[in-house]
Amino acid sequence: MNLQLLDFDCSEDAEGVVCWDALAQPAPHYNSALLAEVAQVLAWCHRFDARGPGPLEDGANWDFDLQVTVQGDAHPGLPLPAKFDPTTGTLHLPFGAEQQAMALSLSISGSPAFAQAFREQFGLP
């Protein structure tokens, strides 16, 4: 799967845990496509190991952090609750949020086995 809107930076610690971080602040007309891409990535993560996400130090294979904030004059930096539903593979935001200017931050961390599969799936170095 080629990612069109998410551009991940990668870091690795001494234990082999890899973390990918992506930031996006698209024009509002790209929000739906960006959110769909985030949902596809998270759905793949859940298919890799449905027991996750969870703390890697407690034995989970992967974990993630997703932050979405409203941008603009009215409510700059206002966090939006974003919830991923693994049973449907969809990402839920409050009604009307997709039409607003937003900033999105997605961090995904994983074990060495998860990291290798993630790299292969998404063509990452």
CB atoms within 10 A of CB 60: 17
What's the mean pLDDT in 79-86?
Answer: 91
Higher pLDDT, 44 or 80: 44
Say what the pLDDT of residue 10 is: 92
CB atoms within 10 A of CB 14: 5
The number of distinct structural domains making up the chain is 1
Q: Convert the pLDDT of each residue in 14-44 to its tens digit.
A: 888 899 999 999 888 999 999 999 999 999 9
Query: Is pLDDT at 90 greater than 90 in this prediction?
Result: yes
Residue 2 counted as domain residue: no
Q: Which domain holds residue 102?
A: 19-122
Residues 6 or more apart in contact with residue 88 via CB below 8 angstroms: none
Residue 47 counted as domain residue: yes
Residues 6 or more apart in contact with residue 119 via CB below 8 angstroms: 125
CB 114 within 8 A of CB 62: yes
Residue 55 counted as domain residue: yes
